[in-house]
Structure 1
Amino acid sequence: MKWDSIKSRLLLMTMLCVLGMGLMTVNQHYFGQKLSALNADNVALQQLQTDLLQLRRHEKDFLLRHNNRYLQRFREQQVTFTASINTLDKVIQQYQLPATLVGDIASDTELYVRYFYQLADLMRVYGLNSATGISGDLRELSMKLNSSSVRLPKDLIHLPGQIVYLAADFQLTFDETTQSTLLALLSSLITNDRVPADYKLLLQEFREKFNQLVATKKKIGFSEQQGLRGLFREQAHRVEDNLAKLDAALQPVLVEHKQQATLYSTAIALLTSVALILLLIRSFATFHRSFANFVLFFYRCKRQYQRIDPKQLGFSEFRLLAALANEMVESRRQIERRLEKLEAASAANGGVAPKHI
């Protein structure tokens, strides 16, 4: 098969089209799988952030409502969140992200959970409501102080009520001035000789229980930034920041693979198009040259033999031209055969060439 023929050109163009489409299909399949895996990892990371938000929601519900039901929900969600963190190692290794991110997330999560459980234990010791824990004990002692205050001298009978009020006020405001005033008032009553001994024992027990309440509340934290409340919230913010960093590190990888898929697809399409255009241009030039030679050939036939009848037009003229062309081709073949015979005879006679053909 000649490469300059129309059939070979059509076959070549077909092969180029099939090759280009095949390369684009392979490219789309390859990057499609990569992008699908990246998207799945991105969705898993987003789910991890959602799990952390749900974990913090149960934490805040427990701190606000003081209900053990939310603590149990926190435990269940914490198991799910920890299991999801363990799957991040594969993502880190696959996309060559900073390995410290997963370690930081795991360690900060462990500290966050540990501090929260310690806080929950201290809150149960302190009292989840006014009837439990140290708060409940202090409430019972307050009732005993009020009920037994009738045995005090008249000028001191109002002081137990003031003590109970200051204790309740401190549990709401956690004001240091209130605390110091209450302790000073308790000390003055305990050292007063006119107060009965059994009532002094009750006051001392109240003071000890109040000091326990203050110490426990100090460990918990008088505000959200102090004590265990501040520690576990700080750890929770670190976990959130590390998850945000991991997401920020994964997004460029996703964008890069999308750009690579687009670039390779565009390059394959452009190269295939350029090859087809060049082949078409060459084919058109070949066709134009062949057609020009064809017309010139018949024009020479007409000039050489002068056998065409001027009155014959259309198809008859081309048929006559074809007959003349066949005669010229046959005449050329005869000349070639005669040349071959003469060359053979010359070779047989010792290389003496004939003078005439």
Structure 2
Amino acid sequence: MESISSQQRSTAPNYFNQRTNEMSVELVYIVQAGDTLSAIAASIRACAGVTEQSVKDKNPDINENDLQVGQLILIPHSSGDGALAYTICAGDTLWAICNHINQCEGVTVADIVAENPAVKPDLLSIHDRLNIPAAMATAEPSWTLTSTADVMGFWDWTYSSAAAPQNATLSIAFSGYTDVQTVLNNAANTKGSMVGTHFICFGGGNNAGAFDIGVLDNITDAIKAGQLQDYQGVAFDIETGAAELADGFKGAFAAAKAAGLQVLVTVSHSAPFGISDASTLMMSLLADANIDYISPQLYTDGTEDKNNYDIANGFSWENYKGCKAAVVPSIVKAAYHPSAQEYFAKEGVTLSGYIQWQQTDESS
């Protein structure tokens, strides 16, 4: 999304996942010399609120893009006094480590013992692997989207604890990134609680969400390799990136359809704001039979009190009349759907529904 909220919050850890009240393993800790369960639990609790930047500051020599399995890093305590010695495991990223540690903030010795029945608390051995459970908060009350349509979608922010609306026909795990592993890691936060058809989203309105041919090749390879098999659809938030990507996107969409995935494309207002040949790309998108849904964003910062129908890069809404995909605009609130229907009808475009950006119901 182009909004400030997506650009700034998409890199923020989800400190507490309030989608479920079950215990779940969030962190694997490898025992160090001199460790005790009470010391481990206390040190993890002391790290509450840790961020990627604070870890980088504590470990100035690490390369966040090249973490090595078995590498030891220090996770600073929030007080600034002391640190947790953490051993890198396969698949770790700094974001995931911080996210997991924060979700384990309330862990106790009893929690660790219960999660590791084979471990003898008084006989810990160096290199023992301990599963550290996250004590989840109580789930938020369920809520529903208020405007009825064939398609009632929900942008499910991976960095938010909000519950998904129970009547959504599709939900999209949105993180704001294009890097495949980062997107998968972030999407894991919402995977167990998504509603309707489950989409995983690549892209966003900042540099981390920009597209180029290398990014598209990586996404296409991930699709072909079955890395998105936990989802029924793949979404592309196309807002900024390189020019001359029409063929690259076509290839990614075709690969998704061949893998049995639905395809959704969203753009900033009527066209990508940060792609120089946006009009050429849009004409390709509107004519692509492999796209199931196209969702123009009718907002900029995601807090508007009405739809914003501004055109982007000179690309007129009238062009949407020839769209092969179902047009389902992204709107701040479901309550703005009737206005969108009326506006697009005047442009000769029939809407099939909408996707809500706001993370709570309209009464909150």
Q: TM-score, normalised by structure 2?
A: 0.19
Structure number with the higher helix fraction is 1
Structure number with the higher strand fraction is 2
Greater relative contact order, per chain length (Cα 8 Å cut-off, separation 6+): 1
Q: TM-score, normalised by structure 1?
A: 0.19
